[in-house]
Each structure stands twice: as structure tokens, then as C-alpha cells.
Amino acid sequence: MLYASNRGDEFPAKTDLYKIDVTGGREQRITTTEARQGVLSPDGSKIAYVRGPSFNFRKGYRGSSNDDIWVSNADGSAPSRLTDFSGEDFSPMWAADGRSIYYVSECLGNPANIVRQRLDSPGKPNASPITKTDGVRLARISRDGNWIVYECGTDLWITSTTGGQARKLAIEVHVDDKENNEQILNLSQEFRSTPCRRTSAALRSPLWESSSWFRLRAARRPD
């Protein structure tokens, strides 16, 4: 299992990639260069990851504190930088053939979009933007490499890696809404001047009957 952690003994702490057997045991550190969002290639021989000091996406940022996509062997050896854009590159995803990497970037201009880049041609990728309004965030690719699900605005979208129009996922969340209905009651003068404890009882006066009050229940618990 591959994961990111700041469990190292450096100060200040930084996040790097670690791996551990799924049966347990001692973890092994893979990187020492502020790495996160690590993903294994389909054949398990390489790792693509985000390297840089930023933890949150900064829209429109350009500068030396940007994040880039790096690729290394599965044991962390032979690291090489794949992207050289001065802005933020993140969410690396391996194509099914293991020869290309999808990732989210503003290298095509704002807003951030999903682009594809071959391992044998580092530099600026060529891709058509899939969104022209809100930027893409936190993209993930399917196991077979045919679909990418991503967050855009307040919704989840899905797009095919072979082309076609992206579509919004129809997500329905069924909940029991809590309703606190409000009523305006005209209290009698006698009730207004009578001391009342919240824990004593719940009182009710039908507006359509009279102004007399009666006890709703006698349990001595908060209502």
C-alpha cells in the first residue's frame, strides 16, 4: 500500500510517500522531497506523484512555490520531473497503457482542466479543455482507464478518456429533514406573569378554541 505521511523526524515536518505491505509490518520511506498524491503505474513499476511545498490549490498562482508532477521507480529511485509549468499541477492519474499521465493543471489557461502528457515528451501538454467555467478539482481515473471522475463547482462530473461530452452525475441523497415549525401565540396575561420552569411540562393552547392552557405531558424531563 502506498500512502503519504509527515511522520518523518525533520523540522519543520514535510509530507513524503511511504509504502507498507497490506498484511502489516514496518513502513518503508519512498521519497524525501515533499511528495504526496502518489499513484502506482498499472504494472506497479513506477510512481507518479506531486512534488512541491503547497498543500492547497492556489488558483492563478505562478511562481517558484508551485507543485509539479514527478515520476520515479516504485522504490523511489530515478526521480524525474514530468511537468515544468510555473503554476499548480496536481491529481496525477496513469493512463491504462502506462505511457501517459493525466493530471489537473492551469497550463492551458484558467480555469484548471484535465490534461494528458506522455512520459517520453516532458513539457507542455496538448489537450482540449473539458470545462470553461469552474475549475476542475480532485480528479480520479477508473481502474480500466476509460473514465475520469472529477469535482467541478459543487458537483461531480464524469468524462471519457476516449472523447465525448462530460456529464454531471445525478446524485440523490435521501434524508429525513428536521422541521421546527414556528407559530406565533397570543398568551394570556395570567400566563405571562406566572413563573414556569422548562423542565416542568410542555403546555399547549389551541388557537381555535380558547385561551385556557392544559398540560401536554407530565414527565419531568426537558421538552
Task: Output the pLDDT for position 135.
Answer: 81
By DSSP bridging, strand 46-51 and strand 68-73 are antiparallel
| Partners of 204 in the β-ladder | 214
Which pTM does this prediction carry?
0.70
Report pLDDT digits (tens) over 136-186.
Answer: 888 999 989 899 999 888 889 998 888 778 888 988 877 776 666 666 666
The fold for domain 2-168 equals: Neuraminidase (2.120.10)
Task: Output the pLDDT for position 102.
Answer: 92
Task: Output the pLDDT for position 203.
Answer: 47
Cα 185 to Cα 83, 191, 194, 210, 217: the distances in Å are: 67, 12, 16, 12, 19
Residues 6+ away with beta carbon under 8 Å from 52: 34, 65, 66, 67, 68
Report pLDDT digits (tens) over 51-65.
Answer: 987 766 777 678 777
Task: Output the pLDDT for position 7.
Answer: 85
Structure-block grid coordinates of residue 44? 506497479
Structure-block grid coordinates of residue 2? 502506498
- Please give the Cα distance from 111 to 150 (Å, whole number): 14
Query: Which residues of the chain form CATH 2.120.10.30?
Result: 2-168
| Cell 508532477, located at residue | 69
Regions in the chain scoring below 70 on pLDDT: 55-56, 60, 122-124, 126-133, 177-223
